[in-house]
Structure 1
Amino acid sequence: DQFSRRWRNNPLISPLIAPHSTYSCKPETLQNALDIATKHHVPLHIHCSETRDEVYDVEKKYGVRPVGLLKKYGLLKNETILAHCGWITKNEILDMKNVGVSVAHCPVSNMKIATGGFAPVPELLDARVPVGLGTDGAASNNTLDMFETMKFCALVHKNHRWDPTILPAQTVVDLATRGGATTLGVQHSLGSLEGGKTADLIMIDLKKPHLTPLHDPVSHLVYAVRGTDVCTTIVNGAPLMLEKEFLTIDVEKTLEQSQKIALELTS
Protein backbone atom coordinates (compact mmCIF):
# COMPACT_ATOMS: atom_id res chain seq x y z
CA ASP A 1 0.00 0.00 0.00
CA GLN A 2 2.80 2.42 0.90
CA PHE A 3 4.81 1.45 -2.17
CA SER A 4 1.84 2.13 -4.46
CA ARG A 5 1.26 5.54 -2.92
CA ARG A 6 4.92 6.48 -3.16
CA TRP A 7 5.59 5.52 -6.77
CA ARG A 8 2.26 5.69 -8.56
CA ASN A 9 3.00 8.96 -10.37
CA ASN A 10 6.72 8.38 -10.95
CA PRO A 11 7.62 8.53 -14.67
CA LEU A 12 10.12 5.66 -14.40
CA ILE A 13 8.58 3.34 -11.81
CA SER A 14 5.15 1.76 -12.26
CA PRO A 15 3.98 -0.07 -9.13
CA LEU A 16 1.80 -3.15 -9.28
CA ILE A 17 0.51 -5.58 -6.69
CA ALA A 18 1.96 -9.07 -7.02
CA PRO A 19 0.64 -11.87 -4.82
CA HIS A 20 2.76 -14.85 -5.80
CA SER A 21 0.20 -17.50 -6.79
CA THR A 22 -3.00 -19.29 -5.90
CA TYR A 23 -1.07 -22.19 -4.38
CA SER A 24 1.14 -20.08 -2.09
CA CYS A 25 -1.33 -17.34 -1.09
CA LYS A 26 -4.44 -17.88 0.98
CA PRO A 27 -7.73 -16.47 -0.36
CA GLU A 28 -7.55 -13.69 2.24
CA THR A 29 -4.18 -12.60 0.85
CA LEU A 30 -5.53 -12.62 -2.68
CA GLN A 31 -8.49 -10.50 -1.59
CA ASN A 32 -6.23 -8.03 0.22
CA ALA A 33 -4.05 -7.74 -2.88
CA LEU A 34 -7.11 -7.03 -5.00
CA ASP A 35 -8.31 -4.39 -2.56
CA ILE A 36 -4.96 -2.55 -2.65
CA ALA A 37 -4.75 -2.71 -6.45
CA THR A 38 -8.30 -1.42 -6.79
CA LYS A 39 -7.70 1.34 -4.26
CA HIS A 40 -4.64 2.69 -6.08
CA HIS A 41 -5.73 1.83 -9.65
CA VAL A 42 -2.62 -0.24 -10.31
CA PRO A 43 -2.29 -3.63 -12.07
CA LEU A 44 -2.20 -7.05 -10.44
CA HIS A 45 0.45 -9.63 -11.31
CA ILE A 46 0.30 -13.30 -10.29
CA HIS A 47 1.80 -16.62 -11.33
CA CYS A 48 -0.91 -18.82 -12.82
CA SER A 49 -0.97 -22.45 -13.93
CA GLU A 50 2.81 -22.58 -14.25
CA THR A 51 3.06 -26.30 -13.58
CA ARG A 52 0.78 -29.30 -13.75
CA ASP A 53 1.28 -30.01 -10.05
CA GLU A 54 0.16 -26.47 -9.23
CA VAL A 55 -3.06 -26.96 -11.17
CA TYR A 56 -3.78 -30.33 -9.54
CA ASP A 57 -2.93 -29.10 -6.03
CA VAL A 58 -5.12 -25.99 -6.29
CA GLU A 59 -8.01 -27.99 -7.74
CA LYS A 60 -7.71 -30.57 -4.94
CA LYS A 61 -7.62 -27.89 -2.23
CA TYR A 62 -10.23 -25.43 -3.53
CA GLY A 63 -12.31 -27.44 -5.99
CA VAL A 64 -11.36 -25.24 -8.96
CA ARG A 65 -8.29 -24.72 -11.11
CA PRO A 66 -6.08 -21.60 -10.63
CA VAL A 67 -7.90 -19.55 -13.28
CA GLY A 68 -11.22 -20.48 -11.73
CA LEU A 69 -10.00 -19.52 -8.27
CA LEU A 70 -8.85 -16.12 -9.52
CA LYS A 71 -12.24 -15.67 -11.15
CA LYS A 72 -14.02 -16.65 -7.93
CA TYR A 73 -12.22 -13.98 -5.88
CA GLY A 74 -12.40 -11.25 -8.50
CA LEU A 75 -8.72 -11.20 -9.53
CA LEU A 76 -9.48 -12.39 -13.07
CA LYS A 77 -10.11 -8.95 -14.50
CA ASN A 78 -8.81 -6.20 -16.71
CA GLU A 79 -5.37 -4.97 -15.54
CA THR A 80 -4.42 -8.41 -14.23
CA ILE A 81 -1.25 -10.00 -15.63
CA LEU A 82 -1.01 -13.79 -15.45
CA ALA A 83 2.55 -15.12 -15.59
CA HIS A 84 3.27 -18.44 -17.34
CA CYS A 85 -0.16 -20.00 -18.05
CA GLY A 86 1.52 -23.19 -19.20
CA TRP A 87 -1.37 -25.45 -18.20
CA ILE A 88 -4.50 -23.56 -19.17
CA THR A 89 -7.47 -24.85 -21.17
CA LYS A 90 -9.36 -23.46 -24.17
CA ASN A 91 -12.29 -22.56 -21.94
CA GLU A 92 -9.96 -20.71 -19.60
CA ILE A 93 -8.60 -18.77 -22.57
CA LEU A 94 -12.16 -17.67 -23.32
CA ASP A 95 -12.62 -16.56 -19.71
CA MET A 96 -9.38 -14.61 -19.93
CA LYS A 97 -10.45 -12.98 -23.18
CA ASN A 98 -13.85 -12.00 -21.82
CA VAL A 99 -12.45 -10.15 -18.80
CA GLY A 100 -9.41 -8.60 -20.51
CA VAL A 101 -6.50 -10.14 -18.61
CA SER A 102 -2.98 -10.28 -20.08
CA VAL A 103 -0.35 -13.02 -20.12
CA ALA A 104 3.41 -12.87 -19.50
CA HIS A 105 5.04 -15.71 -21.45
CA CYS A 106 8.33 -16.91 -19.92
CA PRO A 107 9.65 -19.74 -22.15
CA VAL A 108 13.24 -19.86 -20.83
CA SER A 109 12.08 -20.19 -17.23
CA ASN A 110 9.51 -22.82 -18.16
CA MET A 111 12.15 -24.96 -19.82
CA LYS A 112 14.80 -24.56 -17.14
CA ILE A 113 12.56 -25.76 -14.33
CA ALA A 114 10.92 -28.34 -16.62
CA THR A 115 7.31 -27.29 -16.14
CA GLY A 116 6.33 -29.54 -19.02
CA GLY A 117 4.15 -26.83 -20.52
CA PHE A 118 4.21 -23.26 -21.70
CA ALA A 119 1.64 -20.65 -22.65
CA PRO A 120 -0.36 -21.56 -25.79
CA VAL A 121 0.62 -18.29 -27.42
CA PRO A 122 -0.93 -18.95 -30.88
CA GLU A 123 -4.33 -19.66 -29.29
CA LEU A 124 -4.03 -16.68 -26.95
CA LEU A 125 -3.24 -14.37 -29.86
CA ASP A 126 -6.11 -15.83 -31.90
CA ALA A 127 -8.40 -15.02 -28.97
CA ARG A 128 -6.92 -11.50 -28.82
CA VAL A 129 -5.58 -11.99 -25.31
CA PRO A 130 -2.63 -9.58 -24.89
CA VAL A 131 0.66 -11.46 -24.55
CA GLY A 132 4.09 -10.09 -23.64
CA LEU A 133 7.43 -11.78 -23.14
CA GLY A 134 9.03 -12.13 -19.72
CA THR A 135 12.27 -13.54 -18.37
CA ASP A 136 11.08 -14.50 -14.88
CA GLY A 137 13.79 -14.26 -12.21
CA ALA A 138 17.49 -15.04 -12.32
CA ALA A 139 16.95 -18.30 -10.42
CA SER A 140 15.12 -19.79 -13.40
CA ASN A 141 16.65 -17.80 -16.26
CA ASN A 142 20.17 -16.64 -15.31
CA THR A 143 20.88 -14.18 -18.15
CA LEU A 144 17.58 -12.25 -18.18
CA ASP A 145 18.38 -11.59 -21.85
CA MET A 146 15.27 -10.55 -23.79
CA PHE A 147 16.91 -11.43 -27.11
CA GLU A 148 17.52 -14.94 -25.83
CA THR A 149 13.91 -15.05 -24.65
CA MET A 150 12.68 -14.03 -28.10
CA LYS A 151 14.70 -16.82 -29.72
CA PHE A 152 13.49 -19.45 -27.26
CA CYS A 153 9.91 -18.25 -27.70
CA ALA A 154 10.09 -18.72 -31.46
CA LEU A 155 11.85 -22.08 -31.29
CA VAL A 156 9.85 -23.79 -28.56
CA HIS A 157 6.52 -23.20 -30.30
CA LYS A 158 7.83 -24.27 -33.70
CA ASN A 159 9.25 -27.45 -32.20
CA HIS A 160 6.11 -28.21 -30.20
CA ARG A 161 3.77 -27.71 -33.18
CA TRP A 162 6.05 -29.31 -35.76
CA ASP A 163 5.48 -26.14 -37.76
CA PRO A 164 8.32 -23.74 -38.71
CA THR A 165 5.81 -21.04 -39.67
CA ILE A 166 4.33 -20.71 -36.17
CA LEU A 167 5.21 -17.40 -34.49
CA PRO A 168 7.24 -15.72 -37.26
CA ALA A 169 10.02 -13.34 -36.27
CA GLN A 170 7.91 -10.19 -36.58
CA THR A 171 5.27 -11.65 -34.27
CA VAL A 172 7.91 -12.48 -31.68
CA VAL A 173 9.43 -8.98 -31.86
CA ASP A 174 5.92 -7.59 -31.41
CA LEU A 175 5.47 -9.75 -28.30
CA ALA A 176 8.67 -8.30 -26.84
CA THR A 177 7.75 -4.69 -27.62
CA ARG A 178 4.14 -3.76 -28.30
CA GLY A 179 2.91 -6.90 -26.56
CA GLY A 180 4.90 -6.20 -23.44
CA ALA A 181 3.65 -2.62 -23.30
CA THR A 182 0.03 -3.71 -23.79
CA THR A 183 0.37 -6.41 -21.14
CA LEU A 184 1.59 -3.79 -18.66
CA GLY A 185 -1.09 -1.30 -19.70
CA VAL A 186 1.39 1.31 -20.95
CA GLN A 187 0.88 0.87 -24.70
CA HIS A 188 -0.06 4.53 -25.08
CA SER A 189 3.42 5.67 -24.05
CA LEU A 190 5.72 2.68 -24.67
CA GLY A 191 6.20 -0.32 -26.95
CA SER A 192 6.95 1.39 -30.26
CA LEU A 193 8.84 4.35 -31.68
CA GLU A 194 6.13 6.89 -32.44
CA GLY A 195 5.66 10.61 -32.07
CA GLY A 196 4.35 11.50 -28.62
CA LYS A 197 5.57 8.30 -26.95
CA THR A 198 8.30 8.09 -24.33
CA ALA A 199 11.82 7.86 -25.75
CA ASP A 200 12.75 4.43 -24.38
CA LEU A 201 14.99 2.70 -26.91
CA ILE A 202 18.14 0.72 -27.54
CA MET A 203 20.64 0.62 -30.39
CA ILE A 204 22.42 -2.50 -31.59
CA ASP A 205 25.94 -2.77 -32.98
CA LEU A 206 25.52 -4.88 -36.12
CA LYS A 207 29.22 -4.87 -37.02
CA LYS A 208 29.82 -8.29 -35.47
CA PRO A 209 30.87 -11.58 -37.11
CA HIS A 210 27.80 -13.39 -35.82
CA LEU A 211 25.57 -10.65 -37.28
CA THR A 212 27.19 -10.70 -40.71
CA PRO A 213 25.82 -10.95 -43.35
CA LEU A 214 22.55 -9.16 -42.62
CA HIS A 215 19.65 -10.24 -44.82
CA ASP A 216 16.57 -9.69 -42.65
CA PRO A 217 16.88 -7.28 -39.70
CA VAL A 218 13.75 -8.59 -37.97
CA SER A 219 14.90 -12.21 -38.22
CA HIS A 220 18.32 -11.14 -36.94
CA LEU A 221 16.74 -9.59 -33.84
CA VAL A 222 15.13 -12.90 -32.91
CA TYR A 223 17.69 -15.49 -33.99
CA ALA A 224 21.12 -13.83 -33.96
CA VAL A 225 21.30 -10.72 -31.76
CA ARG A 226 22.40 -11.05 -28.13
CA GLY A 227 21.93 -8.70 -25.23
CA THR A 228 25.65 -7.93 -25.30
CA ASP A 229 25.20 -6.47 -28.81
CA VAL A 230 23.29 -3.51 -27.39
CA CYS A 231 25.58 -0.48 -27.58
CA THR A 232 23.26 2.35 -26.53
CA THR A 233 20.38 2.55 -24.06
CA ILE A 234 18.08 5.55 -23.67
CA VAL A 235 15.35 5.71 -21.02
CA ASN A 236 12.77 8.49 -20.96
CA GLY A 237 15.00 10.46 -23.33
CA ALA A 238 18.05 10.21 -21.07
CA PRO A 239 21.11 8.24 -22.28
CA LEU A 240 22.21 5.59 -19.78
CA MET A 241 24.78 3.97 -22.08
CA LEU A 242 26.35 5.42 -25.22
CA GLU A 243 28.56 3.30 -27.46
CA LYS A 244 29.09 0.80 -24.62
CA GLU A 245 30.05 3.52 -22.13
CA PHE A 246 27.93 3.56 -18.96
CA LEU A 247 27.01 7.09 -17.96
CA THR A 248 25.16 6.69 -14.68
CA ILE A 249 26.96 3.92 -12.75
CA ASP A 250 30.47 2.84 -11.84
CA VAL A 251 30.63 -0.55 -13.55
CA GLU A 252 33.61 -1.97 -11.66
CA LYS A 253 32.20 -0.92 -8.31
CA THR A 254 28.77 -2.31 -9.16
CA LEU A 255 30.20 -5.69 -10.19
CA GLU A 256 32.29 -5.86 -7.02
CA GLN A 257 29.32 -5.01 -4.81
CA SER A 258 27.11 -7.53 -6.61
CA GLN A 259 29.59 -10.35 -6.06
CA LYS A 260 29.98 -9.42 -2.40
CA ILE A 261 26.24 -9.33 -1.79
CA ALA A 262 25.75 -12.65 -3.59
CA LEU A 263 28.33 -14.31 -1.36
CA GLU A 264 26.63 -12.87 1.73
CA LEU A 265 23.29 -14.27 0.61
CA THR A 266 24.65 -17.77 0.01
CA SER A 267 27.08 -18.05 2.92
Structure 2
Amino acid sequence: MNSRRFRGPIDLHAHSSVSDGTETPSQLVRAALEAGIGTVALTDHDSTAGWVEAASAAKQAGITLIPGMELSTRVQYASVHMLAYLFDPGNAALVAETARIRQARLTRAEEIVQHIGRDFALSWDDVLAQSTEGATIGRPHIADALVARGHAPTRSEAFAGILHWKRGYAKPHYAPDPLTGVRLVREAGGVPVLAHPGTRGAEHVVPEAELKRLADAGLFGLEIDHRENLPDAKKRLHALADKFGLAVTGSSDYHGDGKPNRLGENTTAPEVLERIIAESTGSEPVYPD
Protein backbone atom coordinates (compact mmCIF):
# COMPACT_ATOMS: atom_id res chain seq x y z
CA MET A 1 0.00 0.00 0.00
CA ASN A 2 1.44 3.37 -0.99
CA SER A 3 1.73 5.70 2.01
CA ARG A 4 0.87 8.63 -0.27
CA ARG A 5 -2.74 7.49 -0.09
CA PHE A 6 -2.90 8.64 3.51
CA ARG A 7 -1.32 11.55 5.34
CA GLY A 8 0.19 11.92 8.79
CA PRO A 9 0.17 12.45 11.62
CA ILE A 10 -1.50 9.08 12.27
CA ASP A 11 -3.54 8.55 15.45
CA LEU A 12 -4.84 4.99 15.74
CA HIS A 13 -6.92 5.12 18.93
CA ALA A 14 -9.91 7.43 19.42
CA HIS A 15 -13.39 7.07 20.87
CA SER A 16 -16.73 8.64 20.02
CA SER A 17 -20.04 8.83 21.87
CA VAL A 18 -20.85 5.39 20.45
CA SER A 19 -18.85 4.16 23.43
CA ASP A 20 -17.33 6.45 26.06
CA GLY A 21 -16.18 9.49 24.09
CA THR A 22 -18.01 12.79 24.42
CA GLU A 23 -18.19 13.62 20.69
CA THR A 24 -20.22 12.03 17.93
CA PRO A 25 -18.24 10.21 15.22
CA SER A 26 -18.62 13.27 12.97
CA GLN A 27 -17.46 15.62 15.70
CA LEU A 28 -14.49 13.37 16.41
CA VAL A 29 -13.43 13.50 12.77
CA ARG A 30 -13.73 17.30 12.75
CA ALA A 31 -11.68 17.45 15.95
CA ALA A 32 -9.00 15.34 14.26
CA LEU A 33 -8.96 17.72 11.29
CA GLU A 34 -8.65 20.74 13.59
CA ALA A 35 -5.80 19.03 15.45
CA GLY A 36 -3.90 18.57 12.20
CA ILE A 37 -4.36 14.80 12.09
CA GLY A 38 -4.12 13.27 8.61
CA THR A 39 -5.30 9.77 9.54
CA VAL A 40 -7.42 8.73 12.51
CA ALA A 41 -8.81 5.38 13.68
CA LEU A 42 -12.25 5.15 15.26
CA THR A 43 -11.93 2.49 17.96
CA ASP A 44 -15.08 2.49 20.07
CA HIS A 45 -15.42 -0.19 22.72
CA ASP A 46 -16.86 -3.43 21.33
CA SER A 47 -18.84 -1.60 18.64
CA THR A 48 -18.67 -0.58 14.98
CA ALA A 49 -21.85 1.49 15.14
CA GLY A 50 -19.97 4.73 14.41
CA TRP A 51 -18.19 3.58 11.27
CA VAL A 52 -20.68 4.83 8.67
CA GLU A 53 -21.06 8.31 10.16
CA ALA A 54 -17.30 8.66 10.66
CA ALA A 55 -16.60 7.51 7.10
CA SER A 56 -18.90 10.14 5.63
CA ALA A 57 -17.37 12.85 7.80
CA ALA A 58 -13.81 11.79 6.95
CA LYS A 59 -14.45 11.97 3.22
CA GLN A 60 -15.85 15.48 3.61
CA ALA A 61 -13.04 16.56 5.93
CA GLY A 62 -10.31 15.27 3.63
CA ILE A 63 -8.66 12.92 6.11
CA THR A 64 -8.26 9.13 6.12
CA LEU A 65 -10.32 7.00 8.50
CA ILE A 66 -9.13 3.61 9.74
CA PRO A 67 -12.25 1.73 10.89
CA GLY A 68 -11.52 -0.14 14.09
CA MET A 69 -12.67 -1.16 17.54
CA GLU A 70 -11.30 -1.64 21.04
CA LEU A 71 -12.20 -5.20 21.94
CA SER A 72 -12.60 -6.13 25.60
CA THR A 73 -10.67 -9.19 26.74
CA ARG A 74 -9.82 -10.36 30.23
CA VAL A 75 -7.35 -12.49 32.17
CA GLN A 76 -9.13 -13.43 35.41
CA TYR A 77 -9.92 -10.02 36.98
CA ALA A 78 -7.46 -8.06 34.83
CA SER A 79 -8.88 -6.21 31.83
CA VAL A 80 -6.80 -6.47 28.65
CA HIS A 81 -7.94 -4.19 25.82
CA MET A 82 -7.22 -5.08 22.22
CA LEU A 83 -7.33 -2.67 19.31
CA ALA A 84 -8.65 -4.24 16.13
CA TYR A 85 -8.22 -2.60 12.74
CA LEU A 86 -9.86 -3.11 9.35
CA PHE A 87 -11.83 -6.26 10.15
CA ASP A 88 -15.13 -7.34 8.60
CA PRO A 89 -17.85 -5.69 10.73
CA GLY A 90 -20.31 -8.37 9.61
CA ASN A 91 -18.20 -11.34 10.71
CA ALA A 92 -20.69 -13.56 12.54
CA ALA A 93 -18.39 -14.77 15.31
CA LEU A 94 -17.10 -11.29 16.14
CA VAL A 95 -20.60 -9.78 15.96
CA ALA A 96 -21.90 -12.40 18.38
CA GLU A 97 -19.01 -11.96 20.81
CA THR A 98 -19.20 -8.17 20.90
CA ALA A 99 -22.96 -8.35 21.42
CA ARG A 100 -22.35 -10.64 24.40
CA ILE A 101 -19.72 -8.23 25.80
CA ARG A 102 -21.98 -5.19 25.39
CA GLN A 103 -24.84 -6.97 27.17
CA ALA A 104 -22.47 -7.93 29.98
CA ARG A 105 -21.29 -4.31 30.21
CA LEU A 106 -24.89 -3.14 30.45
CA THR A 107 -25.82 -5.66 33.13
CA ARG A 108 -22.66 -4.85 35.08
CA ALA A 109 -23.34 -1.11 34.81
CA GLU A 110 -26.89 -1.52 36.12
CA GLU A 111 -25.59 -3.53 39.09
CA ILE A 112 -22.90 -0.93 39.86
CA VAL A 113 -25.46 1.87 39.84
CA GLN A 114 -27.75 -0.12 42.08
CA HIS A 115 -24.94 -0.61 44.59
CA ILE A 116 -23.76 3.01 44.45
CA GLY A 117 -27.35 4.20 44.80
CA ARG A 118 -27.50 2.71 48.28
CA ASP A 119 -24.87 5.20 49.46
CA PHE A 120 -25.14 8.12 47.02
CA ALA A 121 -27.96 9.85 45.17
CA LEU A 122 -27.62 8.13 41.80
CA SER A 123 -30.11 6.41 39.50
CA TRP A 124 -30.05 4.56 36.20
CA ASP A 125 -31.83 7.52 34.61
CA ASP A 126 -28.86 9.68 35.66
CA VAL A 127 -26.57 7.35 33.72
CA LEU A 128 -28.81 7.22 30.65
CA ALA A 129 -28.78 11.02 30.60
CA GLN A 130 -25.01 10.86 30.05
CA SER A 131 -25.18 8.49 27.07
CA THR A 132 -26.45 8.61 23.51
CA GLU A 133 -28.95 6.21 22.02
CA GLY A 134 -27.29 2.94 21.07
CA ALA A 135 -24.07 3.70 22.97
CA THR A 136 -22.12 0.96 24.72
CA ILE A 137 -22.92 2.00 28.29
CA GLY A 138 -20.19 1.40 30.83
CA ARG A 139 -18.34 2.85 33.78
CA PRO A 140 -17.41 6.13 32.02
CA HIS A 141 -21.11 6.99 31.76
CA ILE A 142 -21.54 6.20 35.46
CA ALA A 143 -18.56 8.44 36.17
CA ASP A 144 -20.16 11.26 34.17
CA ALA A 145 -23.40 10.76 36.09
CA LEU A 146 -21.50 11.01 39.37
CA VAL A 147 -19.97 14.26 38.17
CA ALA A 148 -23.37 15.60 37.11
CA ARG A 149 -24.73 14.69 40.53
CA GLY A 150 -21.88 16.50 42.26
CA HIS A 151 -20.28 13.39 43.75
CA ALA A 152 -16.98 13.91 41.87
CA PRO A 153 -15.42 16.92 40.12
CA THR A 154 -14.28 15.06 36.98
CA ARG A 155 -14.63 11.70 35.27
CA SER A 156 -11.03 10.82 36.16
CA GLU A 157 -11.60 11.60 39.83
CA ALA A 158 -14.78 9.54 39.82
CA PHE A 159 -12.70 6.58 38.62
CA ALA A 160 -10.05 7.28 41.24
CA GLY A 161 -12.70 7.54 43.96
CA ILE A 162 -16.16 5.98 43.99
CA LEU A 163 -15.52 3.78 40.95
CA HIS A 164 -12.15 2.50 42.12
CA TRP A 165 -12.29 -1.26 42.56
CA LYS A 166 -11.22 -0.93 46.20
CA ARG A 167 -14.49 0.83 46.99
CA GLY A 168 -16.32 -2.38 46.14
CA TYR A 169 -18.94 -0.96 43.77
CA ALA A 170 -17.31 -1.91 40.47
CA LYS A 171 -17.21 -5.54 39.35
CA PRO A 172 -15.67 -7.06 36.18
CA HIS A 173 -17.88 -7.91 33.20
CA TYR A 174 -17.63 -10.87 30.84
CA ALA A 175 -14.95 -10.73 28.17
CA PRO A 176 -13.07 -13.43 26.26
CA ASP A 177 -9.43 -14.18 26.98
CA PRO A 178 -6.81 -12.35 24.85
CA LEU A 179 -5.90 -15.42 22.80
CA THR A 180 -9.54 -15.80 21.77
CA GLY A 181 -9.60 -12.08 21.00
CA VAL A 182 -6.61 -12.30 18.67
CA ARG A 183 -8.10 -15.27 16.86
CA LEU A 184 -11.50 -13.59 16.49
CA VAL A 185 -9.95 -10.44 15.01
CA ARG A 186 -7.71 -12.35 12.61
CA GLU A 187 -10.53 -14.64 11.49
CA ALA A 188 -12.54 -11.50 10.70
CA GLY A 189 -9.71 -10.24 8.49
CA GLY A 190 -8.52 -7.69 11.02
CA VAL A 191 -5.23 -6.73 12.61
CA PRO A 192 -4.95 -6.89 16.45
CA VAL A 193 -2.78 -4.69 18.68
CA LEU A 194 -2.65 -4.76 22.48
CA ALA A 195 -3.85 -1.40 23.79
CA HIS A 196 -1.79 0.47 26.42
CA PRO A 197 -0.26 -2.74 27.86
CA GLY A 198 2.06 -0.97 30.31
CA THR A 199 -0.26 1.10 32.48
CA ARG A 200 0.57 -0.81 35.67
CA GLY A 201 4.33 -0.95 35.29
CA ALA A 202 6.86 -3.48 34.06
CA GLU A 203 5.96 -6.10 36.66
CA HIS A 204 2.43 -6.28 35.27
CA VAL A 205 3.32 -6.39 31.57
CA VAL A 206 1.95 -9.44 29.72
CA PRO A 207 4.16 -12.40 30.67
CA GLU A 208 6.64 -13.38 27.99
CA ALA A 209 5.20 -16.87 27.49
CA GLU A 210 1.69 -15.47 27.08
CA LEU A 211 2.87 -12.79 24.66
CA LYS A 212 4.57 -15.47 22.57
CA ARG A 213 1.27 -17.38 22.37
CA LEU A 214 -0.50 -14.21 21.26
CA ALA A 215 2.18 -13.41 18.68
CA ASP A 216 2.05 -16.96 17.33
CA ALA A 217 -1.75 -16.61 17.01
CA GLY A 218 -1.46 -13.41 15.00
CA LEU A 219 -0.99 -10.47 17.37
CA PHE A 220 0.41 -7.68 15.21
CA GLY A 221 1.73 -5.17 17.70
CA LEU A 222 1.85 -3.30 20.98
CA GLU A 223 0.57 0.20 21.61
CA ILE A 224 3.65 1.42 23.49
CA ASP A 225 3.56 5.16 22.83
CA HIS A 226 0.60 6.01 25.08
CA ARG A 227 0.50 8.49 27.93
CA GLU A 228 -0.61 5.90 30.50
CA ASN A 229 2.18 3.39 29.86
CA LEU A 230 4.79 3.76 32.59
CA PRO A 231 8.46 4.32 31.63
CA ASP A 232 9.75 1.01 33.01
CA ALA A 233 6.95 -0.82 31.21
CA LYS A 234 7.76 0.90 27.91
CA LYS A 235 11.36 -0.31 28.13
CA ARG A 236 10.20 -3.86 28.78
CA LEU A 237 7.60 -3.73 26.02
CA HIS A 238 10.12 -2.51 23.44
CA ALA A 239 12.35 -5.46 24.32
CA LEU A 240 9.45 -7.89 23.95
CA ALA A 241 8.35 -6.31 20.66
CA ASP A 242 11.87 -6.80 19.31
CA LYS A 243 12.00 -10.40 20.54
CA PHE A 244 8.70 -11.46 18.98
CA GLY A 245 8.74 -9.26 15.88
CA LEU A 246 5.79 -7.15 16.98
CA ALA A 247 5.11 -3.69 15.60
CA VAL A 248 5.03 -0.63 17.85
CA THR A 249 2.15 1.83 17.59
CA GLY A 250 1.42 5.14 19.26
CA SER A 251 -1.94 6.78 19.84
CA SER A 252 -3.78 9.34 21.90
CA ASP A 253 -6.70 7.23 23.18
CA TYR A 254 -8.79 10.37 22.69
CA HIS A 255 -12.18 10.60 24.43
CA GLY A 256 -13.12 14.23 23.75
CA ASP A 257 -13.70 15.91 27.10
CA GLY A 258 -13.87 12.52 28.83
CA LYS A 259 -10.09 12.32 29.29
CA PRO A 260 -7.19 14.80 29.17
CA ASN A 261 -5.69 12.86 26.23
CA ARG A 262 -5.32 15.05 23.12
CA LEU A 263 -5.41 13.94 19.51
CA GLY A 264 -1.96 13.47 18.07
CA GLU A 265 -0.09 13.50 21.38
CA ASN A 266 1.27 10.09 20.35
CA THR A 267 1.30 8.83 16.79
CA THR A 268 2.11 5.80 14.64
CA ALA A 269 4.77 5.64 11.93
CA PRO A 270 3.47 5.51 8.32
CA GLU A 271 5.31 2.27 7.61
CA VAL A 272 3.47 0.57 10.48
CA LEU A 273 0.11 1.66 9.14
CA GLU A 274 1.16 0.42 5.71
CA ARG A 275 1.75 -3.02 7.23
CA ILE A 276 -1.63 -2.96 9.00
CA ILE A 277 -3.38 -2.15 5.73
CA ALA A 278 -1.39 -4.80 3.84
CA GLU A 279 -2.27 -7.51 6.38
CA SER A 280 -5.97 -6.69 6.62
CA THR A 281 -8.59 -8.42 4.50
CA GLY A 282 -11.81 -7.50 6.31
CA SER A 283 -12.35 -3.87 5.33
CA GLU A 284 -10.59 -0.93 3.74
CA PRO A 285 -9.43 2.46 4.96
CA VAL A 286 -11.76 5.31 4.04
CA TYR A 287 -9.78 7.71 1.92
CA PRO A 288 -10.74 11.34 1.21
CA ASP A 289 -12.75 12.05 -1.91
TM-score by length of 2: 0.34
TM-score by length of 1: 0.36
CA radius of gyration, larger in = 1
More contact order relative to length (CA 8 Å, sep ≥ 6) = 2
